[in-house]
């Protein structure tokens, strides 16, 4: 069975990692993705479960393909 919680945890870690590699703050990423900075923090800590649409907005703001955020 697929562990959905683990997927969200790994996704959050990956977003934080890519964001760091791109030298962006949570605030910068949030602004570019049209999201709230606090929400970005929740996603990175796997405290919220973003929709695919939201994940796509984050990927676009990070200038990566959507699938790259799921490569963990």
Q: What is the pLDDT along the chain (72 residues), one digit of tens a residue?
A: 889 999 999 999 999 999 999 999 999 999 999 999 999 999 999 999 999 999 999 999 999 999 999 999
Give the pLDDT of residue 1.
85
Predicted model pTM: 0.94
- Specify the number of domains making up the chain: 1
Note down the domain range covering 8.
4-70
Structure tokens at 31: 């602004």
Return d(Cα 64, Cα 46) in angstroms, integer: 20
Count of residues for the chain?
A: 72
Give the pLDDT of residue 2.
85
CATH number at residue 53: 1.10.260.40
């Amino acid at each position: 069975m697929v562990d959905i919680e683990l997927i969200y945890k790994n996704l959050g870690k990956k977003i934080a990692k890519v964001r760091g590699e791109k030298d962006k703050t949570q605030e910068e990423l949030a602004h570019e993705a049209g999201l709230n900075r606090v929400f970005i923090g929740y996603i990175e800590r796997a405290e919220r479960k973003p929709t695919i649409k939201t994940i796509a907005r984050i990927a676009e703001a990070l200038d990566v393909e959507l699938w790259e955020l799921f490569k963990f």
